[in-house]
Chain A
């Protein structure tokens, strides 16, 4: 296949990101400097984000059989890049200042390299239209995160979390590969559309194809931490450094869900089979268990971990609905979820800034925060309300869309689970919220620095909070954007 300028323009976000990786690597080899590595990464990510705009101009275009750059891919690329950018600013705040006296004691610069690599994997993943592309993207996304999670390797919890994630992620990949093999055996094609066309021609999909698809679902469910494949989530979120947990919860999950959506829409093995029932069970279990287990947590990172399990349960409702509003609902929900999670983890990061052995993630450490850091509290309050889906915040719009998609395809059982889950969820979100306003205890271990609002991480956080509020009041721009970003099916 011949590559023209058009193809390169379409690939620009990915190319820019990869160039940044090389540049940062060379810069580190030349001279270790935290500030320089940070500035180069941010610059590269911003350029990559900007280059999405020309890429939109040439869509839809197929670049090699593996990748398809359409508006859908561009939208999710932008989400992944924006999330990575936000996480990068958080990492900078978290690792600490220039002096080397305070903050993270080890080498700081490689974390940027890893997060950039992971982001490149995300970019490949959201534009994959081929099982090989999917696998390459997924591994490129996951493998650097092992290193990122265990980055504070001298901390036992971080190391443990890294190993745990690696083992389970490998298990998930094994499932995924086995499923792919079965699908290939049945259909003789590896491209999503090809599989779909072949299976549709056969009428009802055969058992082998269904099992193959089911195993792929399980593999992806590991990455999305859906119940019962969620066991790693709370431990990993707790052990990972806060900005890395933010990346795991946002960019990584968004990219995986985007590819799941594309796979699901383009190769409908699930029609008329038991796979939809399997997904329904996964969704209900995720919503209920995620919310119920979150009730018991007194650690904010674990709580957010369980809450993210529940949120992906809500998203599955839209995936199962899979027609009409569903695709838009997923786009809107993922964007609002991304904003909200970034905000919530951002506050935790700033509270734990600069690095000092253990993150400020115990709920009691947030007691009376309102009296010490009113604006930081306001940010976390907006995020909690948004996670709970209360009006005036972006989360409400997302939840509204998911309910609309569910009603449209008449998934009453799932909607019942959603109502129940939200009612339970309100309890722990409110608990976090009210804790911050209670009277202050005398112990003060951790606190955000006074000038947090003037650093890159703080500014990013304020922007996220304002955006979450703005989209809650006037969501029209986001809705228009998502409406544009529809999936395109290209003939195999």
Chain B
């Protein structure tokens, strides 16, 4: 019974925030903080108590650590069907944590329409939790599309007006159109899958478990897989369709960037692991080389463009493209070690990218610019912030001792047997990662100062937010075992689906 509450809590909390605005600007913030705290607490409690040896795997009845099902639209065989396994609980805990942080980091930044802002923030997170829990394809699509609207508002109404030709409304609209159009392609694929299943069995259903048993002809399977991949690739983002990401990040308010980089990108990786591979294992195995090379390309391309940016938020945004490339390689490598590495990498990137965006936001509140050409010499003018930034830049380049290192290491070592050349090139991408990370630190914090005026020191709230993230990132780096244990069964299931198809493919060739 707790699963629907995980989704409802943010939605209800959002409505309360909206109405709470009548009593001043502080009340909505506290309601939002409480809501997110509750979500985070529930996520942790589930993580601590549920049994994550239960996870979907091919062959048998699907097992879930927790499940919830009620009829919704009987005419079409649609039900509100939620399921929790190790992968989803990790993502939900991450969502809760970043939710708390995004409320905290907007405490001073957002000063107008506070209630409506938090309504949107809460609804994004509610939609994301829905995506992580839904195991009915209609419900999944429902949440997938629904989280776009509040995100659109967040960017369009509270975003920063950018430089020439980069207005926040354009950025928000671009984000919306990219994701909406690709989502419709996925909807067509979902419906095709459902109708093929209906023609074969005479049962109209959108249930994940039933659709897994659909027998698909090879060509059809490939096309449907591409339909799903299109939607996930845009959110991921895979390089040819990534262009909305830097714009959206650059114009979004800090909380928007934190959610976008920290969680929304992860919904795409989650979708590939939960739906695209298990539903279409054979086509995915056939497609794997292409996907992996796309990943390598994203790593290099993201890193190069990141280095070329002058806007610090765009720099971090392109670095996300680069980091998610590793996750893409891991998902299509079909090795359990790599898949588990991908989960760690998702968590670590969620934490480190969120921290970097929060730091960018703090810098912006003090300097009122994101242009690194206007910065320089901040190390002398401001205590703490540059040092913390240096830590997270080091984490982003994969320094041992941080979660990012564990993730990237596991991904590379796991994928090597499957695709040695891909891994060799991806590993070279790590070098590029250190180039842009250090370049960012150098340009922003060192060098000659533009002004000598001391900047306002970090407040306790701002400092503890980023320090807390740093502690978590180190914890994940030195003791990733709890995360690995939790995701083991789920990733084992994905790996079985995939490797079964791989061996079949090999025998055909």
Taking beta carbons and an 8 Å cutoff, which residues of A are in contact with B? 385, 388, 390-392, 396, 400, 403-404, 406-408, 415, 418-420, 422-423, 426-427, 430-431, 434, 437, 474-476, 479-480, 483
Q: Does B188 contact A (CB under 8 A)?
A: yes
List B residues 136-158 near A (Cβ within 8 Å): 141-143, 145-146, 148-149, 152-153, 156-157
Q: Does B214 contact A (CB under 8 A)?
A: no
- Taken together as a complex, chains A and B put the C-alpha atoms of A290 and B153 apart, in Å, by 26
Which residues of chain B come closer than 8 Å to A396, judged between CB atoms? 142, 145
B188 touches A479 (CB 8 A): no
A437 touches B157 (CB 8 A): yes
Q: Does B185 contact A (CB under 8 A)?
A: yes
- Taken together as a complex, chains A and B put the C-alpha atoms of A350 and B105 apart, in Å, by 40
- Taken together as a complex, chains A and B put the C-alpha atoms of A473 and B153 apart, in Å, by 21
Interface string of B145-184 (1 = CB under 8 A from A): 1101100110011000000000001001100110011001
Closest partner residue, chain A, to B191 (CB atom): A407
- 24 A-B interface contacts by CB (under 8 A): A385-B149, A391-B145, A392-B146, A400-B187, A403-B187, A404-B195, A407-B192, A407-B195, A419-B181, A420-B181, A422-B184, A423-B184, A426-B173, A426-B181, A430-B152, A430-B156, A430-B172, A434-B156, A434-B172, A437-B153, A437-B156, A474-B72, A474-B73, A479-B75
A423 touches B153 (CB 8 A): no
Q: Does B61 contact A (CB under 8 A)?
A: no
Which residues of chain B come closer than 8 Å to A391, judged between CB atoms? 141-143, 145-146
Which residues of chain B come closer than 8 Å to A385, judged between CB atoms? 149
Would you give the shortest CB distance from B188 to chain A, in whole angstroms? 6
Number of A-B contacts (CB under 8 A): 77
Instruction: State whether A430 and B146 are in contact (beta carbons under 8 Å apart), knowing that A419-B188, A422-B181 are contacts in the complex.
Output: no
List B residues 109-157 near A (Cβ within 8 Å): 141-143, 145-146, 148-149, 152-153, 156-157
Which residues of chain A come closer than 8 Å to B452, judged between CB atoms? none
A427 touches B145 (CB 8 A): no
Closest partner residue, chain A, to B149 (CB atom): A390
Q: Interface on chain B toward A: helix, strand, loop, or mixed SS? A: helix
- Taken together as a complex, chains A and B put the C-alpha atoms of A420 and B181 apart, in Å, by 7
Closest partner residue, chain B, to A428 (CB atom): B173
- Taken together as a complex, chains A and B put the C-alpha atoms of A476 and B181 apart, in Å, by 26
- Taken together as a complex, chains A and B put the C-alpha atoms of A431 and B72 apart, in Å, by 33
A480 touches B176 (CB 8 A): no
Instruction: State whether A422 and B195 are in contact (beta carbons under 8 Å apart), knowing that A427-B173, A434-B156, A479-B75 are contacts in the complex.
Output: no
Q: Does B76 contact A (CB under 8 A)?
A: yes
Closest partner residue, chain A, to B181 (CB atom): A423
Which residues of chain B come closer than 8 Å to A483, judged between CB atoms? 75
Closest partner residue, chain A, to B199 (CB atom): A408
B180 touches A423 (CB 8 A): yes
Interface size on B, residues (CB 8 A): 30
Which residues of chain A come closer than 8 Å to B141, judged between CB atoms? 391
Closest partner residue, chain A, to B157 (CB atom): A437
Closest partner residue, chain B, to A480 (CB atom): B75
Which residues of chain A come closer than 8 Å to B75, judged between CB atoms? 476, 479-480, 483
* The one of B146, B173, B185 that contacts A390, using a Cβ cutoff of 8 Å: B146
* The one of B76, B152, B195 that contacts A479, using a Cβ cutoff of 8 Å: B76
Closest partner residue, chain A, to B153 (CB atom): A437
B177 touches A479 (CB 8 A): no
Which residues of chain A come closer than 8 Å to B149, judged between CB atoms? 385, 390
Interface centre among A407, A420, A431, A474 (most CB of B within 10 A): A407
Which residues of chain B come closer than 8 Å to A430, judged between CB atoms? 152, 156, 172-173, 176
Which residues of chain B come closer than 8 Å to A431, judged between CB atoms? 173
Would you give the shortest CB distance from B54 to chain A, in whole angstroms? 30
Which residues of chain A come closer than 8 Å to B185, judged between CB atoms? 419
B156 touches A476 (CB 8 A): no
- Taken together as a complex, chains A and B put the C-alpha atoms of A76 and B73 apart, in Å, by 23
A390 touches B177 (CB 8 A): no
Which residues of chain B come closer than 8 Å to A479, judged between CB atoms? 73, 75-76
- Taken together as a complex, chains A and B put the C-alpha atoms of A434 and B76 apart, in Å, by 34
B188 touches A476 (CB 8 A): no
Q: Beyond A396-B142, A426-B176, A476-B74: 16 further Cβ-contacts under 8 Å?
A: A390-B180, A391-B141, A391-B142, A391-B143, A391-B145, A396-B145, A400-B187, A403-B188, A423-B181, A426-B173, A426-B177, A426-B180, A434-B169, A434-B172, A475-B73, A479-B73
Would you give the shortest CB distance from B72 to chain A, in whole angstroms? 7
* The one of B73, B143, B157 that contacts A434, using a Cβ cutoff of 8 Å: B157
Which residues of chain A come closer than 8 Å to B192, judged between CB atoms? 407
Closest partner residue, chain A, to B74 (CB atom): A476
Would you give the shortest CB distance from B68 to chain A, in whole angstroms? 17
- Taken together as a complex, chains A and B put the C-alpha atoms of A392 and B142 apart, in Å, by 8
List B residues 477-506 near A (Cβ within 8 Å): none
Which residues of chain B come closer than 8 Å to A418, judged between CB atoms? 184
Which residues of chain A come closer than 8 Å to B76, judged between CB atoms? 479
B146 touches A427 (CB 8 A): no
B191 touches A403 (CB 8 A): yes
Which residues of chain A come closer than 8 Å to B72, judged between CB atoms? 474, 476
Which residues of chain A come closer than 8 Å to B143, judged between CB atoms? 391
- Taken together as a complex, chains A and B put the C-alpha atoms of A390 and B74 apart, in Å, by 21
